[in-house]
Amino acid sequence: DVQLSLRVSAIKPSPTLAVTSRAAALRAEGKDIIGLGAGEPDFDTPKHIKDAAIAAISAGQTKYTAVDGTAELKQAIINKLSNDNQLIYQPNQILVSSGGKQSFFNLALALLNPGDEVIIPAPYWVSYPDMVKIAEARPIIISTLEENRFKLTAEQLSAAITDKTRLVVLNSPSNPTGVAYTKADLAALAEVLQAHPKVLIATDDMYEKILWSDEPFCNIVNAAPDLYPRTIVLNGVSKAYSMTGWRIGYAAGPANLIAAMKKIQSQSTSNACSISQAAATAALSNSQACVKEMVKAFKVRHDLVVERLNQLPGVSCIEADGAFYAFANFNEAMNNKGMNSDVDFAEYLLEQARVALVPGSAFGAPGYMRLSYATSEAILNEALDRIHQAL
């Protein structure tokens, strides 16, 4: 075998993608598997967005673009951030990348030095800790409590900050819990951060649009505008517009940090796909009715899934504020079966119930299971019947 780098040896492949491919492999063997592991909406990309991509191809927009994105898309992002989030940015503060994943990767490589600490509340999106490790920095995982709706408290944040802390990562609504921080929650965290001016904040707003409340979405800069100069806003079109395959994410933040992230990107992938950029421009610039339709469907499924999970023996699940995940406590159900590893338990459910869920330990929260309800109510009901049977 070829000897590999220490860097790659320190990380693991994305566990959520692994569950999806394991379910696909079993399905290819002819097994009837319901996959509730995927982190993507089941809806098709809206037609007006696909049409914009086709028009871009016909118009010859098939060449390199500026590394940081086309002028049109950057302007659409600036308008979106201004209209939806009351945040004002100049074009040199925006970087378009190949998905939200690359946005965070660029950030990690542009910001972090070996030994720097990055505070990541758990349960977390699976990729944050490993991307921090690729940048040779240290993920500092802070376990949140279900009683606190899996939200980082000001006390926990304060206790975690050291003189090595470089970045705090916030994700609201959260993957995997679907929980959103309130303005008051964020104001309390901001108060802690105000005492630590060298710490930057990454706010991953990827699920911003998938929120049940009529209250407007709020991130930490909305709660504490003085944090604007040291906050990087991460967002994208993948989840809101059912565009996971198009690979468009973006970052907005301090100009010199954005320039550094652009430099990293210029030496790795260059611009995001030109055609996808045209599609993303159309997504952000036109009617948002398609988003509302999807959110309505997600809310109905959320209510169904949370109610049914709470009826399962040994399972409980808190209500989410948005996204399309239920994060259910399976500790008692596992005990009932004499199992203590949620990874083994996910395997058990895959074999006995033929349902693929992602074990909580993938998100730094063992004993839980993430169920993605980005699928029809009929399939969700069938999956929950099967899980009930297996329990």
Residue nearest ligand PLP (C-beta atom): 99
Instruction: Check residue 101 for interaction with ligand PLP (CB under 6 A).
Output: yes
CB 55 within 8 A of CB 49: no
Distance CA 220, CA 152 (A): 13
Residue from 35, 41, 100, 359 touching ligand PLP (CB under 6 A): that is 100
Tokens 């950029």 found at: 277
In the complex, minimum distance from the CB of residue 241 to ligand PLP, in angstroms, rounded to a whole number: 11
Which range touches ligand PLP (CB under 6 A), out of 98-106, 193-201, 211-219, 291-299? 98-106
Residues 6+ apart with CB under 8 A from 9: none
Which residue's entry shows tokens 């040779």?
A: 136
Binding mask 341-360 toward ligand PLP (x if CB under 6 A, else -) reads --------------------
Site string for ligand PLP, 215-244 (x = CB under 6 A): ---------------------x-x-----x
By beta-carbon proximity to ligand PLP, the closer residue of 221 and 387 is 221
Q: Pick one of 78, 106, 118, 125: the residue that binds ligand PLP (CB under 6 A).
A: 125
* Residue 242: CB minimum distance to ligand PLP, A: 11
Pairwise CA distance, residues 52 & 88, whole Å: 27
Question: For ligand PLP, which residue of 15, 35, 37, 99 counts as binding (CB under 6 A)?
Answer: 99
β-pair type (249-252, 231-236): antiparallel
Per-residue contact string for residues 259-298; x = within reach of ligand PLP by CB under 6 A: ----------------------------------------
Residue number with CB closer to ligand PLP (121 or 249): 249
Residue whose CB is less far from ligand PLP, 99 or 139 = 99
Cα separation, 366 vs 329, whole angstroms = 9
Selected binder of ligand PLP within 15, 37, 39, 364 (CB under 6 A): 39
CA distance 325 to 371: 6
Q: Is the peptide bond before 173 cis (omega within 30 degrees of 0)?
A: yes
Our finding on whether 321 is near ligand PLP (CB under 6 A) is no
Using CB under 6 A as the binding rule, whether residue 249 contacts ligand PLP is answered as yes
Counting contacts by CB under 6 A, is residue 206 touching ligand PLP?
A: yes
Helix (H) or strand (E) holding 165: strand 165-171
Residue pair 384/312 in contact by the 8 Å Cβ criterion: yes
Contacts of 337 (CB under 8 A, 6+ apart): 345, 348, 391
CA angle in degrees (0–180, nearest 5) for 53-55-61: 80
| Cβ proximity to ligand PLP, 122 vs 334, nearer residue | 122
CB nearer to ligand PLP: give 73 or 333: 73
Q: What is the greatest pairwise CA distance in the chain?
A: 62
d(CA 302, CA 178): 10
Q: Please provide the distance, in angstroms rounded to a whole number, between the alpha carbons at the two ends of the chain.
A: 42
**Could you tell me the smallest distance in angstroms from the CB atom of residue 102 to ligand PLP?**
7
- Of 290 and 384, CB closest to ligand PLP: 290
Single out the residue of 35, 285, 320, 311 nearest to residue 174, CA to CA.
320
What is the DSSP pairing of strand 138-143 with strand 117-122?
A: parallel
Name the minimum Å distance from CB 27 to ligand PLP.
Answer: 21
- Binding residues for ligand PLP, how many (CB under 6 A)? 13
- Residues in contact with ligand PLP by CB under 6 A are 39, 99-101, 125, 171, 175, 204, 206, 236, 238, 244, 249
